[in-house]
Structure 1
Amino acid sequence: MSEPKSPTPTPAGDTYKGWVFKWTNYIKGYQRRWFVLSNGLLSYYRTQAEMGHTCRGTINLATAVISVDDACNFVISNGGAQTYHLKASSEVERQRWITALELAKAKAARMQAESDDSGDDFSPSSLPVGGGQGMGSQNSEVQSTLRTLGSKVEDLSTCNDLISKHGSALQRSLSELDSLRLTGEAGDKIRQVTERATLFRITSNAMINACRDFLALAQTHSKRWQKALQAEREQRVRLEEALEQLAKQHNHLERAFRGGAQVHAIVDNTGATGSRKGEASDEDDDNEFFDAMEEAPEFITVPADPQFHKRSSSNASGLNSDMCADDQSLNEEPLTMNQESPSQELVPLKKRRTRIPDKPNYSLNLWSIMKNCIGKDLSKIPMPVNFNEPISMLQRLSEDLEYHELLDKAAKCHSSLEQMCYVVAFCVSAYSTTVYRTGKPFNPLLGETFELDRQRESGYRSLCEQVSHHPPAAAHHAISDRGWTLRQEITVASKFRGKYLSIMPLGTIHAIFEKSNNHYTWKKVTTTVHNIIVGKLWIDQSGEIDIVNHTTGDRCHLKFAPYSYFSRDVARKVTGVVMDKAGKAHYVLSGTWDEKMEFSRVMQSSRGGENGTEGKQKTVYQTLKARELWKRNPLPEGAESMYYFTALALTLNEPEEGVAPTDSRRRPDQRLMEDGRWDEANSEKQRLEEKQRSARREREREAASQRASGHSEEGAPHDSHRALWFESCEDQITGEQVHIYKGGYWETKELGTWEGCPDIF
Structure 2
Amino acid sequence: ARLDSCMGKAAAPCSGSGGIASILSAVPCLSCKPQADVDGTMSEQGKGSASSTAGAPAAAPGSDTYKGWLFKWTNYLKGYQRRWFVLSNGLLSYYRTQAEMAHTCRGTINLATAHIDTEDACNIVLSSGGRTYHLKASSEVERQRWVTALELAKAKAIRMMHDQSDDSGDEEPTSQSDRSEIQGTLKTLASKLDDLSTCNDLIAKHGAALQRSLSELEGLRVPVEGGEKIKAVNERATLFRITSNAMINACRDFLDLAETHSRRWQRALQHEREQRIRLEETIEQLAKQHNSLERAWREAPALSATGSERPQKGEASDEDEDTEYFDAMEDSPCLSQVSPTCNDLSSGKEVQLRRRRRSRIPDKPNYSLNLWSIMKNCIGKELSKIPMPVNFNEPLSMLQRLTEDLEYHELLDKAARCESSLEQLCYVAAFSVSSYSTTVHRTAKPFNPLLGETYELDRMDEYGYRSLCEQVSHHPPAAAHHVFSRRGWTLWQEITIASKFRGKYLSIMPLGAIHLQFHSTGNHFVWRKVTSTVHNIIVGKLWIDQSGDIDIVNHRTKETCQLKFSPYSYFSRDVPRKVTGVVTDSEGQAHYILSGTWDDKIECSKIVQSSRGGSGSEGKQKTVYQTLSPKLLWKKYPLPENAENMYYFSSLALTLNEPEEGVGPTDSRLRPDQRLMEAGRWDEANVEKQRLEEKQRAVRRRREAEASDALEEGREYEGYQPLWFHKRIDAITGESSFVYKGGYWEAKERQDWSLCPEIF
| The two structures share one fold, judged by TM-score above 0.5 | yes
Q: Give 1:303's aligned amino acid.
A: D
Distance 1:585 1:482 in 2: 29
What does residue 753 of structure 1 align with? 752
User: Does 2:517 match 1:493?
Assistant: no
Contact 2:500 2:506 in 1 (8 A): yes
Deviations 1:364-411 (A, max 9, x none): 011101211211111111110000000000000000000000000000
User: Does 2:516 match 1:511?
Assistant: yes
Distance 1:338 1:359 in 2: 39
- 3-state DSSP class of the match of 1:586? strand
Q: Give 1:737's aligned amino acid.
A: S
Cα pair distance change 1:696/1:261, threshold 3 Å: closer
What does residue 702 of structure 2 align with? 698
What does residue 602 of structure 2 align with? 597
User: Does 2:693 match 1:686?
Assistant: no
Mapping for residues 599-618 of structure 1, pairs under 5 Å: 599-609=604-614, 615-618=619-622
Cα pair distance change 1:743/1:758, threshold 3 Å: same
Q: Tell me the CA shift for residue 697 of structure 1.
A: 0.8
Contact 1:337 1:458 in 2 (8 A): no
Contact 2:517 2:525 in 1 (8 A): yes
Distance 1:337 1:504 in 2: 39
Cα pair distance change 1:261/1:727, threshold 3 Å: closer
Contact 2:594 2:605 in 1 (8 A): yes
What does residue 156 of structure 2 align with? 49
Q: Tell me the CA shift for residue 477 of structure 1.
A: 0.2
- 3-state DSSP class of the match of 1:609? strand
Q: Give 2:678's aligned amino acid.
A: E
Mapping for residues 609-758 of structure 1, pairs under 5 Å: 609=614, 615-712=619-716, 720-758=719-757
2:411 to 392, 406, 415: 406
1:339 to 350, 353, 357: 350
- 3-state DSSP class of the match of 1:391? strand
Q: Give 2:747's aligned amino acid.
A: T
Distance 1:645 1:56 in 2: 52
Distance 1:646 1:415 in 2: 32
Cα pair distance change 1:607/1:674, threshold 3 Å: same
Distance 2:579 2:603 in 1: 10
Q: Tell me the CA shift for residue 263 of structure 1.
A: 11
Cα pair distance change 1:264/1:601, threshold 3 Å: farther
Cα pair distance change 1:446/1:304, threshold 3 Å: same
Q: Give 1:574's aligned amino acid.
A: V
Contact 2:316 2:631 in 1 (8 A): no
Contact 1:262 1:303 in 2 (8 A): no
Cα pair distance change 1:354/1:58, threshold 3 Å: farther
Q: Tell me the CA shift for residue 734 of structure 1.
A: 2.5
Mapping for residues 439-450 of structure 1, pairs under 5 Å: 439-450=444-455
Cα pair distance change 1:261/1:755, threshold 3 Å: closer
Mapping for residues 578-589 of structure 1, pairs under 5 Å: 578-589=583-594
Q: Tell me the CA shift for residue 705 of structure 1.
A: 1.4
What does residue 272 of structure 1 align with? none
Cα pair distance change 1:259/1:727, threshold 3 Å: closer
Q: Tell me the CA shift for residue 603 of structure 1.
A: 0.7
Q: Give 2:440's aligned amino acid.
A: V
Gaps of 5+ in 2: 1-112, 116-127, 129-151, 169-276, 288-314
Q: Which segments of structure 1 move beyond 4 Å, counting only runs of 4 or more?
A: 45-48, 52-59, 258-266, 323-326, 335-338
User: Does 2:425 match 1:420?
Assistant: yes
Mapping for residues 90-109 of structure 1, pairs under 5 Å: none
2:329 to 290, 305, 318: 305
Contact 1:335 1:408 in 2 (8 A): no
Equivalenced residue count is 478
User: Does 2:543 match 1:538?
Assistant: yes
Q: Tell me the CA shift for residue 55 of structure 1.
A: 7.9
Contact 1:596 1:630 in 2 (8 A): yes
Contact 1:636 1:647 in 2 (8 A): yes
What does residue 378 of structure 1 align with? 383
Cα pair distance change 1:574/1:47, threshold 3 Å: closer
What does residue 109 of structure 1 align with? none
User: Does 2:369 match 1:328?
Assistant: no
What does residue 280 of structure 1 align with? none
2:570 to 565, 573, 595: 565
Contact 1:729 1:740 in 2 (8 A): yes
Q: Give 2:329's aligned amino acid.
A: D
Q: Tell me the CA shift for residue 499 of structure 1.
A: 1.2
Mapping for residues 344-359 of structure 1, pairs under 5 Å: 345=352, 349-359=354-364
- 3-state DSSP class of the match of 2:446? strand
Deviations 1:548-596 (A, max 9, x none): 0000011000000111112222111100010000011111110110001
Mapping for residues 101-500 of structure 1, pairs under 5 Å: 301-306=325-330, 309=331, 312=332, 327-329=338-340, 332-335=343-346, 339=350, 345=352, 349-500=354-505
Cα pair distance change 1:533/1:412, threshold 3 Å: same
Q: Tell me the CA shift for residue 49 of structure 1.
A: 2.3
- 3-state DSSP class of the match of 2:738? strand
Question: What is the aligned-residue RMSD (CA, Å)?
Answer: 3.5
Distance 2:390 2:662 in 1: 27
Q: Give 1:647's aligned amino acid.
A: S
Q: Give 1:305's aligned amino acid.
A: M
